[in-house]
Every structure is written in structure tokens, then in C-alpha cells.
Chains A and B, each alone.
Chain A
């Protein structure tokens, strides 16, 4: 019999390094086999996820281009500065020669912002900035000027998208799951039908929904027209800045609802039927059964569904790329769409990387907050 110490000395260096000093021989073999089995996944994850992640992180501090003969240079936080530059500016009204405020049709007249933000040596810190939003404060206007309006809109749009779709899609999926968690005839047919959009490519779904949302003779306008006996004025769903994002949200929620429905169904089937029987004997109604038996039983499922939907929503891309390309008027810009457009289409890998890093930090924070809120309380 060899002792553990002897076995250690015979083992290759990397095995010795992996194992605690007093590990017995059989553990040595287990560790080797374990690492071997994990190796394919580890290698793939390293090559396609870990390395690109660190490359993006590195490039976000450089001026790396997709194709360029110029050398890559370290630019520090320049890319992040451009993305996140925000200034507050007080715009004073126009005054005539006597110093009185100029009114036109009862409205205070202001000089054009471009007189301050473009080639004005007195305001170098405003050069190239654009108005994000503004409001009246006294006779002045307070203007929020930002370095990158499109990115900021993309960020806000993405956060709104995630905030709306998480409860919408999760809730809808739960309702469907509850309806389908019954022993009805042909129940598998219904389950398949709701799951069908999930297996269809998002590109195809997006193309189809472009027809549905068509501003003139799209399916949605036609149906609403019939339901309202022709009183409904057709809406250009994707062409109107106010309806474009809700249209994307509705379509996205529909597309993936089947996937989350299946997760909910799996969760529902882990709840023992005896609990429902006991609740029934205690005189609980349908709502009480849901509130005190089903919902607590679905706790872990709910956490999973919520986090998965949120992370998927933060990666909003295909719908935007196929249906709106960020328009109209940036109403549907998304962070990933901007990262791809800048990094690849505009060949600015550094800027695209910087956006990815910002997105990573945001998703990381959101995931941490969600985990904290939904943690198991003692």
C-alpha cells in the first residue's frame, strides 16, 4: 500500500497543486477525472466567453479599430467619458437692445443651443454636446446637455424595456402555466402551441410582426378597425415614436412567453397535490390556495424566471435590428444594438467594447440587487 504522501510525490505537478496536502490517493484520481470531464466546457467557455470578456475590457481603454493601419493606443477613460458626459446648462432668454426679454407669440425666445455648443470659444466644455432634455426654470431654461444622446436614450430604453417586460412576460407566463396545469384533453397541444414561437427564430418572428404592425393594412390595424366598426384610425405602430417601443415590448413578451410558461409548469408540478387537498379540507378557496400554497411553492421558480427575463431583456437586439434599427427618433435604440453598430458597422471596436463594459456593470448590479431582494430570509 502506498501512503497518501507517496502518492502525492509520484503525481504530476499540477495534480499536487490542485489537491490539499493530505488528500488520499482515491481523491487524486477523482480530481483528475473531474477536471478532464469539465475540460471541454471549460475550454469552450474560456475561448468564447472569458477571453473575449477580458479583451473587451482591455479594448475599452484603447482606441482599437476593427480595421486600421494606425497603432492601437491607450486612451484611458476617454471612451467612457464620451459615453457618460453630462452637463447642466442654464440657457438665458434672448434680450433686445434695451435688455428686455424677447417674446414671440407669448413665448420667451431663446438663442439656439448650437451657438453655445458649436465652435464657441467661450464655452469649450460644451463643445459638441447635444440637448437631452430641458425644462423651464424662471425665465431661464435648464438644459441637460450630454455627450452621447443616442447612448443615453439606448440605456434608458433598455432599462424601461426590462422593467416592463419582466413583470409582463413573467406574469403572462404564470397565467398560461396555471391554465395549462390541468388534466384537460389535448392539453399537450395547447402547451405546444404556446411554446411554438420560442423555437422560431427571432429574426423570422420580427419580420412577421413587421407585417402585423404595418401602418396601413397591417393585421393589427385591420382587426382593430373591424372591432371598432371602422372607427379606429390606423396607427403606424413602428413609425410612431410613442408606439414603437410598446409595440416591441408586446411582440417580445409574446415571443418568449412560452419558454417561461414551461419553467413555471415545471415549478407547479413540484408542489405536492396533498397540500392542495389539505388546504381544501381547511376550506380554502381558489385564490387562497394560490396565495398560500402555489405562490410560496413557486418562490425559487419566480426568482429564476425574473432573473432570466431581466438578463435577456438587457440584451435586446434582434427585434431592434430587424424591425426599427433604433428609430423612429431613437425611440427603440438599445444598448446592445449600439454596441454592435459602433463596434462592427462603424468599425470602432473600442467604443463598442466600452458600451459592453457599461452594460456588464449594469447587468451585474441588477442581478446582485435582485438576488439580495429575493434572498432566503431567516
Chain B
């Protein structure tokens, strides 16, 4: 009824209008039709990109520059950026995955990637042959033999020291090829502490709870010959975390705090930021991201020294934020094209200059301000190249990291080393079993 009534009145209205009006109407209709048709003809496929760095203007402008360049360079795809605060980024991805609403391109933290790949949130990259040849190993995210993510940068840690202090105490300055041995390092800490000039000889950064613990401290364990999990099977931590090497590491770790050589878990966050610069601490275990600020405060006296070798070589943690493609993306081709566009040396260098991170290729390092030859942080590129070892590549890492953090905090606070590591192993193994091996073999 209603429909017909409306139809009649419309006809009546049209009948009452003059010829002019009729013409005007048809012109308008024609224009509208034309516009909508041209819209269809020019429609580009939209690629959504989610990024974790909301709030950082520098990061945003560099990333937008990359996106604009890509959108201009071809006509098939338009990349649209959506930013999230880092704290809520991972939960946003998980929520989007559960809702079946993932974007095409996501960025993902290196150690988290296996979990998302295993859970089916991501698909392997399909870049052209040799695109990643020059990349630092830590910037490439692999899972079950396929590359799922690639980073524009990496991060690294080193020992911050003052040349004047080492020379005054007659301490050898170590090199990448000839780092301090474990015993040598320990003796140096004792010596610096005994000098009485410092509250503590070594600042490990115990105030930085969370991912810093496994990222920064598991390399010591690896240098002792242990690890957080058995990387040959990824099915257990037994004998690796709580074996002889693990216990030896644990005893040494505990003794650092017992002997008062390093501030413990109750370290104040502000002391962590400024303690080395203020001269409270003689040495500091810190990442390249703090390099520029420390350099500005300390000047040329500042040294970035490689990790000590406790017997099984020196390693440092690797892998930072990387780009990957969601499994639900219908435009994987375009997403791959964008990632391949983004990993050009000039962009890597731009990110490095903007936020101080290590560019992922040697070519980009040469273009960058801090990591080129003679650059203030050049040494970090060498460290990443030579010593980087990614954190355990398993979806179980989320649990491993927390268990390891707690074990190290407890040992630092005086818990029995063997019992604590045993308990950590049990928890890790239980978690692996509960998850049917996280895709490694049958359990």
C-alpha cells in the first residue's frame, strides 16, 4: 500500500513540474551516474595496515612516507594505516582474529610471531627471490622453515662503559673477537665494586620487568651453555635450563646480588635510566636504543662493549617489530608488494635515523647517520651481525618468557638455584604438553 501511494505522489510531482525542471533533473541524474561509474573504474583495492606505534610522531611520519610512496608508485592498491598504542596492540590483533576481522598487513613483535603463525593468524611471505639476502638474521621471522615476517630494524644490547674508568683501573678493553671471559668479567666487577666509587659495579636493568629479562639475560645463560628451552626439539626444557650449565649460570647470577655487585629486583626505574650517566654504576647492560642519549651525556668517553664469553661464546638477543601478512588477507599479492617496497635501504635508514634502531641491512647501515662508518653506534651493527640469536622460535615462548623472568627474579632474591630452575622446567614442559607440543612433533 505505502509503496504505491508514494509512487503515485511522485508521479504527480513530476507531472506538475515544468519541462525545465525535468531537464535539470535528468542532467543531475546523468552526472551522478557518470561520477559513480568513474568511481568504479578508478577503485583501487584497499590494503589495511595495523601498526603498534601510535603516539610516536616520528615513526608515524616515516611510515606514512613509505605508504605514500607506495600508493603513488602503483595504481592497483592503496595502503591505509591504522595505529594502536603498543600496550594494547597484541590484544587488538587477537580480538580481531577471533572476530575474523584482521587487516591485510600487520606488524608483529619477533618472539610473538610463531604464536600467531601457529594459531593461523598469519600466512608466509612471498617476496621475490633474494629480497632478504642482506638482512640481519634477527630481522627475519621464520616459522617451520617459512618466512612469515621481516623487520626493518633490529635491536642489540651491549655493556656501556667509560674508557677513562677502565683505563684508570687498568682494565683491558674487550673487542668483538676477544671479549672478556667469564672469570675476567667477574674479577672486573669485583675490582670496580672494591674501588668504592660506585653504588654498584654493574647495572643489569632489573627495574625493567617483563620482556627485558628473557631478552637481555638469556644470552648469559646461553653463553654458559644452557638455554631457555631445548631448541633441537622444542618439546622440553629439561636438562637445558636446569642442567649443569643452567645451574652454573644460576649460581653466578645469584652471586652478583649476594656480593652486592648489581642492584636487585627492587631497583628504582629512575636509577635505571640515569644511574650510569650519574656515575652510580660503573658498567651498564643496555640496549642500542639508549645509546644516543647516553652518548649525549657522557660524550666520547662512552664505550659499547660486547657481552662476556662464559665459555660457549657470546650471544645477544635479537628480533624486534616486523611486518607480516594476515592469513585472512584476500590481497596477499598487494601486501607482499608493499612489504617488499618497505624494506628498501632508504626506508631502513630513515627509521634508524628517526628512532635510533639498527638498520636491518649493511647497505642501509651505510646510509644511516648512527650506524654508518664512524657513526656513534656503528659497533652495534657488528654485534647484531656476529652474535644475534633469536629468542626461542615457538608459540610457547609467551609462557617460557614469563617463567624465565620469574625464575631469574627469584634466584636474584636468594631462592635455591636448582629447585627454582627445576620448577621453571616443570612449568614450561607442562605448558608444552597442554598445548600438544605447539606444533612440534606429537605429544
Residues in chain A within 8 A of chain B (CB atoms): 63, 65-70, 112-114, 118, 128, 130-131, 149, 210-211, 214-216, 218, 236-239, 241, 325-330, 341, 345-348
Contact = CB atoms under 8 A, between A and B. Distances in A.
Contacts of B410: 327-330
B415 interface: yes
25 contacts: A65-B435, A67-B115, A68-B119, A69-B118, A70-B435, A113-B419, A114-B418, A114-B422, A128-B430, A130-B419, A211-B268, A218-B268, A237-B266, A238-B266, A239-B266, A325-B209, A327-B410, A327-B413, A328-B265, A328-B409, A328-B410, A329-B415, A346-B402, A347-B115, A348-B434
A67 B423 contact: no
B434 A63 contact: yes
Closest 3 CB pairs of A and B: A239-B266, A328-B413, A67-B119
A241 B413 contact: yes
B190 interface: no
A331 to B, nearest CB: 9
Contacts of B94: 66-67
A58 to B, nearest CB: 17
Given A67-B97, A328-B409, A215 B419 contact: no
Given A211-B268, A325-B209, A216 B199 contact: yes
B338 to A, nearest CB: 25
Nearest to A70: B436
A215 B266 contact: yes
B266 A346 contact: no
B346 interface: no
Contacts of B44: none
A130 B430 CA distance: 14
Contacts of A346: 398-399, 402, 431
Given A70-B435, A114-B418, A328 B266 contact: yes
Contacts of A128: 426, 430
Which of A65, A238, A347 is the most central at the interface, judged by chain B CB atoms within 10 Å of its CB? A347
B402 A345 contact: yes
Given A239-B265, A347-B399, A329 B414 contact: yes
A114 B268 CA distance: 36
B285 interface: no
A110 to B, nearest CB: 14
B116 interface: yes
B268 A214 contact: yes
Given A67-B97, A70-B436, A128-B430, A329 B413 contact: yes
A327 B409 contact: yes
B375 interface: no
B423 A149 contact: yes
Contacts of B266: 214-215, 236-239, 328
B279 interface: no
A210 B269 CA distance: 9
A63 to B, nearest CB: 6
Contacts of B418: 112, 114
Interface of B: 94, 97, 115-116, 118-121, 199, 209, 264-266, 268-271, 395, 398-399, 402, 406, 409-410, 413-415, 418-419, 422-423, 426, 430-431, 434-436
Which of B399, B413, B418 is the most central at the interface, judged by chain A CB atoms within 10 Å of its CB? B413
Nearest to A119: B238
Given A118-B422, A345-B398, A68 B435 contact: yes
Contacts of A131: 419
Contacts of B268: 210-211, 214-216, 218
A210 to B, nearest CB: 7
Contacts of B121: 67
B431 A348 contact: yes
A173 B315 CA distance: 55
B419 A114 contact: yes
Contacts of A130: 419, 423
A69 B419 contact: no
Contacts of B115: 67, 347
A326 B409 CA distance: 10
Nearest to A150: B406
Nearest to A82: B430
Nearest to B399: A346
A70 B435 CA distance: 7
Contacts of B414: 329
A116 to B, nearest CB: 12
B316 to A, nearest CB: 24
Contacts of A218: 268
A131 B199 CA distance: 36
Nearest to B116: A67
Contacts of A112: 418
Given A68-B395, A328-B410, A346-B399, 4 more contacts: A67-B116, A112-B418, A325-B209, A327-B413
A341 B422 contact: no
A72 B346 CA distance: 47
Contacts of A236: 264, 266
A214 B116 CA distance: 39
B139 to A, nearest CB: 24
A210 B434 CA distance: 37
B398 to A, nearest CB: 5
A341 B119 CA distance: 20
A66 B94 CA distance: 8
Nearest to A213: B266
Contacts of A215: 266, 268
Contacts of A330: 410
B410 to A, nearest CB: 6
Contacts of A237: 266
Contacts of B119: 67-69
Given A67-B97, A149-B423, A328-B266, A347 B120 contact: no
A78 to B, nearest CB: 9
A130 B416 CA distance: 12
A69 B398 contact: no
Contacts of A347: 115, 398-399
A118 B236 CA distance: 14
Nearest to A323: B266
A238 B264 CA distance: 11
A347 B401 CA distance: 12
Nearest to B268: A214
A75 to B, nearest CB: 9
A69 B118 CA distance: 7
A347 B399 CA distance: 8
Contacts of A149: 423
Contacts of B415: 329
Contacts of B264: 236, 239, 328
Contacts of B271: 216
Which of B266, B418, B431 is the most central at the interface, judged by chain A CB atoms within 10 Å of its CB? B266
A149 B407 CA distance: 13
Contacts of B409: 325, 327-328
Contacts of A65: 435
Contacts of A211: 268, 270
B276 to A, nearest CB: 15
Contacts of B209: 325
A345 B423 CA distance: 18
Contacts of A63: 434
A346 B97 CA distance: 18
Contacts of A329: 410, 413-415
Contacts of B406: 326-327
